[in-house]
């Protein structure tokens, strides 16, 4: 199922906090019923559009996943129950691919989160050109991923003319053939570069929402900067860190562009989404690709459920900030 | 002593920020060099600069791809706004039951990877002859961005003081005037922010564009790779094409910096 159910900790009635500050009153009299009808009419178009464009294709994917269907033999389409799933789980590709996905997503999330926190702390200070520095810092996240992958591959990491290798040579280190010798590192590096600004933006918003007075009071009371950070800033940042981590994970889990452009799935970079692409559009096995697709969705939903719980916790605890 | 430390931290901050920005700055610089200069090692930090590479990029027909990107991005953004603004209104100001369930539904479609629907979408478009069709891409991008737009829009609606709406209702304004005359003007900055975010995500989209378009409707991201030339030098022309491709979004993002964080966090962070 793609429609996630709300976590059980949620109050069942739509409380003001949970729905973002507006009580969902039960329509009692005629004008209120009319209002509720109007409200439904407002939500319905978006809802129908979403169902048609996302849910129906997904259900069809589930159906495809139970078919024996290779595009090379289009007249041999047949129902084969869960055979595709058996192939997925017992085949040699699934586990390594799941591992690649976990390693690439996990490392990129952790690295960009740490770097993002570091930059957020640096940019939270008042200094000359603060605004400009922030503007420059967010740019990598805005760069089209396909363009970023191409520029990194050919202009930064190329063995002969790449700037990174030139920098390595300048300090006396040998050139590295990043794309072919260290494909996982290459992908993680690029993703970290692109997602550090994303993490930084959310964490910076968290830092700036801290009450200055409380921080000043702490400093007057003789708390050093490290203790203030550890006992006041970090707990305050917790929910921002959670949101950043989880939204970042969801986006990074779906990262496809750098892998398609830089490594083409070689050297342990064949993530689930790339594997699915390869099965469907190079291997032409629709049934198996669909099964991979369904499994990918299940993995994503496992992550997304945590993400949703956190998002809603923010609404409940903090209301609308 | 304390002042020196401050200056040192500022200097360090700037060095790190510039290192982070370097690939982008270098891309722009390379795009202005000649092909021969671009491939020199050690790199030349002073070179003759010109817009020649940009002329080559357009000679190779980048204009058509940019136009496709623009059509799909602007079209899907308009479609998203038309669907998301009323929906967010219904979910915020006009209370309906099951707000939570509806919101959950929307956000869950955002978390659904494109992998979940790409195969049926491909075969449906193929069977109706809509592969390589920019209208189809517009609708797909609208579906991709709708959940973010609804969530983000709702967080803006939640900030409209209820009193203003109620006052309008007492004045006898009906739903449409209430929405158009009273609420919309307050929301204009929010709507602009939502539009920018939707534009950014559509403009940068690669996966669907690669698989569902070939020539007629091909957008910029998959086209960029064609500047990689197996035989000759291509660094300068690739940099020029990439610079053109990233420029609209970078400008949009810089302009909407304050709203960016909110959109990215789906309205959970201001």
Task: Give the tens place of pLDDT for each residue, B43-89.
Answer: 888 888 888 889 888 988 889 999 999 999 999 999 999 999 888 88
In angstroms, how far apart are the furthest CA atoms of chain B? 74
- Alpha carbon dihedral B123, B129, B132, B136, in 10-degree steps, equals -80
Residues A211 and A167 in one domain: yes
Residue A317 neighbours by CB distance under 10 Å: 10
Interatomic CA distance for residues A312 and B104, integer angstroms: 10
- Indicate whether A254 and A129 sit together in one domain: yes
Q: A252 and A306 share a domain? A: no
What per-residue confidence (pLDDT) applies to A87? 82
Specify if A17 maps to a domain. Answer: no
Domain extent at residue A120: 94-269
Confidence of residue B140 (pLDDT cuts 50, 70, 90): very high
Q: Is the pTM of this model over 0.95?
A: no
What local confidence, expressed as pLDDT, does residue A143 receive? 94
The reported pLDDT for the residue numbered B267 is 67
What is the pLDDT, as a whole number, of residue A192? 96
Let me know if residue B148 belongs to a domain. yes
Question: Backbone phi, then psi, for A79, in 5-degree steps?
Answer: -75, 125
Question: With an 8 Å Cβ cutoff, are A320 and B150 in contact?
Answer: no
Which residues lie below 8 Å from residue A34, measured CB to CB, with a gap of 6+?
none
Residue B41: inside a domain: no
Using 70 as the pLDDT threshold, list the residues of chain A that sit under it.
Answer: 1-32, 306-308, 310-321
* A51 shares its domain with A172: no
What residues does A28 pair with on adjacent strands? none
Q: What is the ipTM of this complex?
A: 0.89
pLDDT confidence band for B170 (50 / 70 / 90): low
Q: Quick one: which of B202, B55, B191 has its CA closest to B140?
A: B202
According to the model, what pLDDT value does residue B258 have?
77
A161 and A218 share one domain: yes
Domain membership of residue B52 (yes or no) is: no
Residue A315 is predicted with a pLDDT of: 54
* Residue bearing the bigger pLDDT, A175 or B162: A175
B79 and B130 inside one domain: yes
* Nearest chain B residue (CA) to A150: B225
CB-nearest partner of A50 from B20, B109, B122 = B109
pLDDT single digits (tens) B121-135? 888 888 888 888 899
- Number of domain units in chain A: 2
Is B38 a domain residue? Answer: no
pLDDT at residue B256 greater than cutoff 60: yes
> How many Å lie between the alpha carbon of B181 and the closest alpha carbon of chain A?
17
Contacts of A146 in chain B (CB under 8 A): 204, 206, 221-222, 224-225, 245
- How confident is residue B171, by pLDDT bands cut at 50, 70 and 90? low
Under DSSP, is residue B204 helix (H, G, I), strand (E, B) or coil? helix
Chain A residues closer than 8 Å to B245 by CB: 144, 146-147
Of B106, B119, B147, the CB nearest to A280: B119
**Dist. CA A174–CA A159, nearest whole Å:** 10
**Interface contact B189, partner A, CB < 8 A:** no
**Is residue A181 domain-shared with residue A158, that is, in the same domain?**
yes
Q: Find which of A28, A41, A42, A154 to mutate to test the B interface (most B CBs within 10 Å of its CB).
A: A42
Question: Domain for residue A22, yes or no?
Answer: no
Q: Is A247 helix (H, G, I), strand (E, B) or coil?
A: helix
What's the pLDDT score for residue A27?
47
Q: What is the CATH number of the domain that holds A261?
A: 1.10.3720.10
Burial of B46 (0-12, 13-18, 19+ CB in 10 A): exposed
Q: What tokens were used for A162?
A: 């790449």
Is B55 inside a domain boundary? no
Percentage, residues of chain B above pLDDT 90: 28
Residues 6+ apart with CB under 8 A from A117: A199, A200, A203, A237, A241
pLDDT of residue B92: 80
Task: Tell me the per-residue pLDDT of B98-117, one tens digit each, with 9 for 90 and over.
Answer: 777 777 777 777 777 777 78
Q: What's the confidence (pLDDT) of residue A140? A: 94
> What is the predicted pLDDT for the residue at B266?
67
B85 to chain A: closest CA residue? A42
Closest CA to B187 of B237, B239, B146, B152: B152
**Residue range(s) defining the domain that contains residue B206:** 62-264
Facing A308 at nearest CB: one of B107, B158, B200: B107
pLDDT of residue A12: 34
| Min Cα separation A274/chain B (Å) | 9
Overall domain count for chain B: 2
Q: Are B20 and B96 found together in one domain?
A: no
Across the interface, which of B14, B249, B261 has its CB nearest the CB of A142? B249
Does residue A35 share a domain with residue A61?
yes
């Amino acid at each position: 199922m793609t429609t996630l159910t709300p976590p059980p900790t949620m109050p069942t009635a739509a409380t003001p906090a949970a729905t973002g500050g507006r009580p969902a009153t039960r329509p009692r009299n005629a004008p209120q019923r009319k209002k509720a009808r109007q409200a439904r009419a407002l939500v319905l178009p978006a809802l129908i559009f979403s169902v048609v464009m996302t849910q129906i294709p997904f259900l069809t994917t589930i159906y495809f996943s139970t078919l024996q269907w290779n595009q090379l033999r289009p007249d041999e389409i047949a129902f084969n129950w869960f055979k595709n799933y058996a192939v997925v789980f017992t085949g040699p590709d699934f586990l390594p691919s799941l591992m690649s996905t976990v390693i690439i997503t996990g490392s990129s999330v952790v690295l960009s989160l740490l770097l993002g926190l570091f930059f957020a702390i640096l940019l939270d200070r008042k200094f000359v050109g603060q605004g400009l520095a922030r503007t420059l810092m967010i740019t990598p996240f805005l760069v089209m991923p396909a363009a970023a992958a191409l520029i990194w591959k050919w202009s930064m990491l190329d063995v002969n003319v790449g700037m990174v290798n030139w920098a390595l040579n300048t300090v006396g280190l040998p050139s590295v053939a990043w794309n072919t010798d260290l494909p996982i590192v290459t992908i993680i590096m690029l993703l970290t570069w692109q997602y550090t600004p994303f993490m930084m933006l959310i964490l910076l918003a968290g830092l700036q929402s801290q009450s200055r007075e409380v921080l000043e009071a702490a400093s007057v009371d003789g708390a050093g900067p490290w203790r203030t950070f550890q006992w006041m800033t970090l707990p305050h940042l917790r929910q921002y860190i959670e949101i950043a981590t989880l939204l970042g994970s969801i986006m990074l889990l779906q990262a496809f562009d750098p892998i398609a452009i830089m490594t083409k799935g070689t050297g342990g970079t064949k993530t689930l989404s790339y594997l699915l692409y390869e099965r469907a559009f190079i291997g032409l096995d629709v049934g198996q690709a669909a099964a991979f697709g369904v499994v990918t969705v299940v993995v994503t939903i496992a992550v997304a459920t945590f993400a949703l719980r956190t998002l809603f916790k923010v609404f409940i605890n903090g209301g609308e900030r | 002593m304390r002042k020196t430390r401050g200056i040192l931290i500022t200097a360090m901050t700037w060095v790190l920020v510039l290192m982070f920005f370097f690939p982008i700055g270098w891309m722009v610089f390379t795009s202005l060099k000649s092909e021969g200069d671009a491939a020199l090692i050690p790199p030349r930090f002073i070179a003759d600069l010109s817009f020649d590479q940009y002329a080559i990029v357009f000679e190779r027909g980048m204009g058509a791809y940019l136009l496709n990107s623009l059509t799909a991005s602007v079209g899907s953004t308009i479609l998203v706004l038309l669907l998301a603004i009323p929906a967010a209104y219904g979910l915020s100001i006009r209370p309906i039951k099951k707000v939570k369930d509806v919101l959950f539904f929307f956000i869950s479609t955002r978390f659904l990877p494109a992998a979940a629907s790409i195969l049926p979408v491909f075969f449906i478009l193929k069977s109706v002859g809509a592969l390589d069709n920019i209208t189809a891409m517009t609708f797909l991008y609208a579906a991709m961005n709708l959940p973010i737009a609804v969530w983000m829009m709702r967080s803006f609606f939640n900030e409209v003081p209820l009193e203003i709406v109620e006052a309008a209702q007492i004045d006898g304004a009906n739903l449409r005037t209430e929405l158009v005359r009273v609420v919309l003007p307050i929301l204009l900055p929010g709507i602009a922010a939502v539009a920018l975010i939707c534009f950014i995500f559509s403009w940068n989209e690669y996966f669907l564009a690669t698989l569902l378009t070939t020539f007629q409707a091909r957008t910029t991201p998959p086209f960029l790779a064609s500047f990689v030339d197996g035989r000759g030098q291509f660094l300068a022309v690739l940099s020029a094409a990439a610079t053109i491709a990233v420029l609209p979004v970078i400008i949009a993002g810089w302009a909407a910096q304050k709203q960016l964080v909110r959109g990215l966090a789906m309205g959970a962070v201001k």
